[in-house]
Amino acid sequence: MERLGWSFVAKARESFDPGFYTLAEQSALCLESRQPNAPEALLLRGHALHNMHGFKEAEPLARELVAKRGLPADFGLLGDVLMEQGQLNEAVEAYQTMLDLKPDLHAYARAAHVRWLKGDLEGAVELMQVAASASSPQTPEPSAWVHTRLAALQFQAGAIQEAEQTCAAALELQRNYAPALLLRGRIRLSKGKAAEALEPLRRAATLNPLAEYQWLLAEALYEAGRADEALAVEKQLREHGADSDPRTFALFLATRGESPGVAVAFAEHELSHRADVFTHDALAWSLSATGKMAEAQREMQLALADGTVDARLFFHATIIAAKSGYREEARRWLHKAQKSIHGLLPSEAKQLQFAALELERDSVADRSNSSRPQTFSTAGN
């Protein structure tokens, strides 16, 4: 029964069908009915719940595992569910214990991810390279996953050529690996090669029709001059995005300026169980679309608190600060966003460029006003 459950997990990772995680959870429950509180059942069920975004439900299972058994995988699960709930410092402790117990691909990859979240992008790339070097063609899916994560970090750092090569390595390990196809399309789109981006993006969205995949495909279609196809993809996104990925769907609505109140509702619901930096960012961006700038500014500060190096975070911080009247702060975030503009979608990059022009006009106006001679009214004298 345990082997069957993990087979369902493997199938879910390969097919991107979350229904297999439900089957994995049922396998764990069946195992637990025969052996109450069996660690094997707790780990399997906790892993399934984590992948179904049941982070709060998985946390007590992970804590029980750590207290009773304390294997590397137990600490890995605990770190995962804590990280997703925004408890990053405690997650770091769990990951460090995992790494101390068994320094392998899984531990190195988690440590690299935390380094990125904590603002150490260079260190994250280095550790993810260690994780990739520990991978094996005998386990193609985990190996493809870690190479794709490395490529994504390299892309964030602006090492575009290295990212392309690492992405190609991921696809050699697993030919139709949707995350690697998505990243290949994103890299091509960032280089202005929208037509070349369409083939991998179409394949990726077919394999894994999440909101993120459909949004990126629609952006590429617009850039390639295929607006009718883009609208059809966006129609599918609007129909299914709320179910497949509410957080990304909220970002999409806010970016497009559509139904901002709905975007806020989705982001707030996500935050109730997933309080990481990217959910705070989604709520901040959605609130800014409704004009609630004081609330948006507070949420954006929470999103930026750990120093995560991410183009979209910097873009949102720029716009929110500018709309809130904090122009100097907006210029500081604009500088960071412009350095990583390759990581933005084309529509986001255009918004950022428009904001840069607005800030420059404001700066010129401020300089002009400050250089004028002072005049004093004599009225009433």
Over residues 48-62, the pLDDT tens digits come to 999 999 999 999 999
Strand, helix or coil for residue 178: helix
Instruction: Please name the residues in contact with 314: beta carbons below 8 A apart, sequence gap of 6 or more.
Output: 333, 336, 337, 340
Binning pLDDT at 50, 70 and 90, where does residue 380 land? very low
Q: Whole-angstrom Cα distance, residue 170 to residue 132? A: 10
Sequence-ordered strand ranges (E) for 231-289: none
Q: Whole-angstrom Cα distance, residue 168 to residue 192? A: 19
Question: pTM of the prediction?
Answer: 0.92
Taking only the tens place, the pLDDT of each residue in 2-32 is 999 999 999 999 889 999 999 999 999 999 9
Position 232, amino acid: A
Boundaries of every domain in the chain: 1-102, 245-361
Over residues 68-93, the mean pLDDT reads 96
Q: Whole-angstrom Cα distance, residue 212 to residue 241? A: 9
pLDDT value at position 363?
A: 72
Over residues 350-372, the mean pLDDT reads 80
| Size of the chain in residues | 381
Return the CATH class of domain 245-361.
mainly alpha
Maximal C-alpha separation, the chain: 96
* pLDDT at 369 exceeding the cut of 90: no
Strand, helix or coil for residue 361: helix
Percentage of residues of the chain with pLDDT beyond 90:
93
Q: Whole-angstrom Cα distance, residue 130 to residue 206? A: 32
Q: Which has the closest alpha carbon to 126: 153, 165, 92, 89?
A: 153
- DSSP class of residue 373? P
Q: End-to-end alpha-carbon separation of the chain, Å?
A: 95
CA–centroid distance for 308 within its chain = 11
Fold match, 1-102 / 245-361: yes
Over residues 336-359, the mean pLDDT reads 96
Cβ-based neighbour number of residue 359 at 10 Å: 18
Q: Whole-angstrom Cα distance, residue 195 to residue 178? A: 18
pLDDT value at position 375?
A: 45
Q: Does 1.25.40.10 match the CATH number of domain 1-102?
A: yes
pLDDT value at position 63?
A: 98
